[in-house]
Amino acid sequence: MYSKEYSIIYTFFTLGTEGLPYHSADDNNSKFRRLLKLRSTDVPELHEWLNRKEGFKWLHHSYIEEIFQMYSNYILKKITEEMRSVKYFSVLMDETSDVARLEQVSISFRYVTDDFKVKEVFVGFYETKTTTAETLFAIFEDVLLRFNLDIRFLRGQSFDGAANVSGISNGLKAKILAKVPRALFIHCVAHRLNLVVQDALQGVTEIRIFLGLVKDLINFVRDSPKRSAFFSDIQCSEAEINEDFSIRKLMRFCDTRWCVRVKSLETVLLNYTALCVFFYEIVRDKTSTVTAAASASGYTKEMESFKFFYILNLLIEIFSRIESLNKDFQKQTLTVNASHSEIQTLIKTLQAYRETGYDKFWEETTRKAEVLGVEPPELPRVRRMTRRYDEGSEPYTFSSPKEYYGKLFYEVLDVLLSSLHDRFDTEEVKILSSIENFVTRKSEKTEDESLLNDITNFYGSDLNGSRLQLHRDIFLDYFVDKNGQNPASLQEVLDFFASEEGLWNITSEMKRLCILVLTIPATSVTCERSFSALKLLKTYLRSVLIAKRLNNIAIMYSYRNMFAEELLRELEEFMDQWILKNKFRRSAFALSQ
């Protein structure tokens, strides 16, 4: 290939894979043209080509879009060929609105290769005016048709908890199950964990009020450039006085991610002294507006109270454990059984903390409050009930501040534990637990036969029951010979199987069961990641980006590293396909062969 063609095409791909705009209202001043002019200083042939006065230069944005379309199709073809070769797959779907307020449906697939590599692949955005179950199902069927994927091999589906997708009767889940009963539905575990935190924080009145107060407090500091700069000066002064003080910027509350809000609370605690000084100075400053001074006075009073400091420490202490678990739930390779096991561990940890952790928490919190100069804990004044609500009984009287604040400690933990049980104890988990009991041989022989029947009845023609029993026993005998005991969990079985390539042929039915289990998605985080790409690609300045162009760029950007080297090896063949599309290109460019 001539150097000029290579320079032009490679510049195309550089812009596309970086998600950069390649044309503008004035095509002669586009990023693409400017990059080519820069490269022409090193490539004489390109310089001559760009300075041609007659004939096509092949730089119009329509040609660029055609090449982008070809590359996008090239990537999707590679992905779907591998998906069809492994047979079984699962679907992940989620919806969001873009900067132009258009509804975009993100679709991804999950599959497992023969060497046990779990892959989740994003295949595009689909613009829609409505997000009803019927519309989403039509989009799903259209995607399967485009990629030549057989819905009969669908073995899993993962969405959020919205009624249009998760509805038992008329949701997308129900419509897919009507066609493929073996497509096990999993409500995304990351979404469920987020809902658990939301239940706990909104289910307790005092906590809900506290969160509203902290949100306003953070916004009060950050929303004004003048106040924000003043607070930074106070932080620097605090750092000079106290060597242990580390400057941390106040973090806003995330509107949708409740699990992440603990990070915002941590920044308030780390800046507690600096915030108290800041609000005190705002009140004293005569140039402050009346509204700002009044707000600062209220925040000062709240932060000096023990109740505010106690709730802040309580939420950080409890929900930091969940926030670390939420990070694990962002992994693409996560399995449903592994997530369920982590949830069970969290439940046991929180139960143990509820039984024995309050005394230690109380001592540490009161000690920290004393060091920071927060008011000591006191019992609130007992208020007489309004006559119309008075039922004749006396309100309960707490014997000490420790007992009074302990009520809030136990109430938050009880709501949290209850929500964890309700949202994670599902029928789908019970099915996968049965598979785990079978492959780890935890049950008695009679129950083992029953579990085998349940598995083969669910998967039907996917598995042969008698062979599965034999191959399971061969696998476990080998496992015990290597490790001295039966596997403790399904995850241990999957990890061991993936590392023992010699077992794959002699225990093929066991291998197929493991691949079927791995194919079931635990989360829809791949769709969430595509939303991050959407924000980078369709910005305020590119809000009119049409659906077709958006999809091409999104695919190129999402797989910018995966297929880059492979494309370079096949670039000449790729360009030959483009040249052969019409006679004008054949006369302007030379084929590689």
CB count in 10 Å sphere of residue 130: 9
pLDDT of 6 over the 80 cut: no
Give yes or no for a contact between 578 and 66, defined as CB atoms under 8 angstroms apart: yes
Give yes or no for a contact between 131 and 164, defined as CB atoms under 8 angstroms apart: yes
| Three-point CA angle 223, 226, 228, nearest 5° | 55
Residues 481 and 413 in one domain: no
Residues 273 and 408 in one domain: yes
pLDDT tens, residue by residue, 432-483: 888 888 888 876 667 788 888 889 999 988 999 899 999 999 999 998 988 8
Q: Which run of H or E residues covers position 30?
A: none
pLDDT of residue 337: 86
Asked if the structure places residue 486 within a domain, the reply is yes
Beta bridge partners of residue 502, listed in sequence order: none
Rounded Cα gap, residues 489 and 398, in angstroms: 46
Cβ-based neighbours of 90, under 8 Å, separated by 6 or more:
109, 110, 111, 154, 155, 156, 157, 158, 183, 519, 520, 521
Asked if the structure places residue 246 within a domain, the reply is yes
Work out the pLDDT band at 150, boundaries 50, 70, 90.
very high
Asked if the structure places residue 533 within a domain, the reply is no
Give yes or no for a contact between 427 and 211, defined as CB atoms under 8 angstroms apart: no
Residues 266 and 280 in one domain: yes
Work out the pLDDT band at 414, boundaries 50, 70, 90.
very high
Give yes or no for a contact between 474 and 497, defined as CB atoms under 8 angstroms apart: no
Q: Which run of H or E residues covers position 77?
A: helix 61-86
DSSP 213-231: HHHHHHHHHHS-HHHHHHH
pLDDT of 565 over the 80 cut: no
The CATH number of the domain where 133 resides is what? 3.30.420
pLDDT of residue 326: 84
Higher pLDDT pick, 369 / 65: 369
Asked if the structure places residue 202 within a domain, the reply is yes
The total of structural domains in the chain comes to 4
Residues 485 and 370 in one domain: no
Rounded Cα gap, residues 249 and 323, in angstroms: 19
**55-59, 280-284, 291-295, 407-411: least confident range:** 55-59
Q: Rounded to the nearest 5°, which phi and psi values hold at 288?
A: -70, 145
Cβ-based neighbours of 333, under 8 Å, separated by 6 or more:
118
Give yes or no for a contact between 246 and 239, defined as CB atoms under 8 angstroms apart: yes
Q: Which domain holds residue 128?
A: 86-186+524-528
Q: Which run of H or E residues covers position 104?
A: strand 103-112
Give yes or no for a contact between 408 and 314, defined as CB atoms under 8 angstroms apart: yes
pLDDT of 38 over the 50 cut: yes
Q: Which run of H or E residues covers position 470?
A: helix 465-483
Packed helices 336-356 and 401-424: angle between N→C axes, nearest 10 degrees: 160
**129-143, 382-396, 431-445: least confident range:** 382-396
pLDDT of residue 512: 92
pLDDT of residue 33: 81
Q: Which pTM value belongs to this model?
A: 0.86
pLDDT of residue 210: 92
Cα separations (Å) of 283 from 203, 243, 276, 295, 313?
A: 34, 27, 11, 9, 26
Q: Is 52 exposed, middle or buried (0-12, 13-18, 19+ CB in 10 A)?
A: exposed
DSSP 500-568: -GGGTTTTHHHHHHHHHHHHS-S--HHHHHHHHHHHHHS-GGGTT--HHHHHHHHHHHHTTTTSHHHHH
Residues 251 and 165 in one domain: no
Six-digit token string for 503: 């077992």
Six-digit token string for 533: 């790409």
Rounded Cα gap, residues 328 and 285, in angstroms: 47
355 residue type, one letter: E
Residues 111 and 135 in one domain: yes
pLDDT of 581 over the 60 cut: yes
Task: Calculate the CA 64 to chain-centre distance.
Answer: 33
Task: Calculate the CA 472 to chain-centre distance.
Answer: 34
pLDDT tens, residue by residue, 86-95: 999 999 999 9
262 residue type, one letter: V
Rounded Cα gap, residues 259 and 257, in angstroms: 5
163: closest CA among 175, 155, 154, 173?
173
Cβ-based neighbours of 284, under 8 Å, separated by 6 or more:
none
Asked if the structure places residue 200 within a domain, the reply is yes
pLDDT tens, residue by residue, 214-272: 999 999 999 889 999 999 998 888 877 776 666 788 888 887 777 878 888 999 998 89
Residues 466 and 583 in one domain: no
In this structure, the strands spanning 154-159 and 89-97 are parallel
Residues 269 and 410 in one domain: yes
218 residue type, one letter: I
pLDDT of 503 over the 90 cut: no
pLDDT of residue 240: 77
Rounded Cα gap, residues 286 and 581, in angstroms: 75
Domain closes at, from 528, 560, 577: 528
pLDDT of 1 over the 50 cut: no
Asked if the structure places residue 80 within a domain, the reply is no
Residue with tokens 């607070």: 231
Q: Which long-range contacts (CB under 8 A, 24 or more apart) does 579-585 make?
A: 584/56, 585/58
pLDDT of 9 over the 80 cut: no
Work out the pLDDT band at 427, boundaries 50, 70, 90.
confident
Asked if the structure places residue 387 within a domain, the reply is no
Residues 455 and 554 in one domain: no
Can you tell me the mean pLDDT for 533-547? 87
Rounded Cα gap, residues 303 and 242, in angstroms: 20
pLDDT of residue 501: 85
Residues 100 and 16 in one domain: no
Helix segments in 393-444, DSSP class H = 401-424, 427-439
pLDDT of 203 over the 50 cut: yes
Sheet of 89-97, strand order = 118-128, 103-112, 89-97, 154-159, 184-187
- What length does the chain have? 593
Domain closes at, from 519, 550, 576: 519
Can you tell me the mean pLDDT for 55-71? 77
Give yes or no for a contact between 142 and 148, defined as CB atoms under 8 angstroms apart: no
| % of the chain surpassing 70 pLDDT | 92
Asked if the structure places residue 510 within a domain, the reply is yes
Handedness of CA 448, 452, 454, 455 (dihedral sign): positive
Residues 49 and 113 in one domain: no
Work out the pLDDT band at 576, boundaries 50, 70, 90.
confident
Residues 300 and 158 in one domain: no
Mean pLDDT of the chain: 86
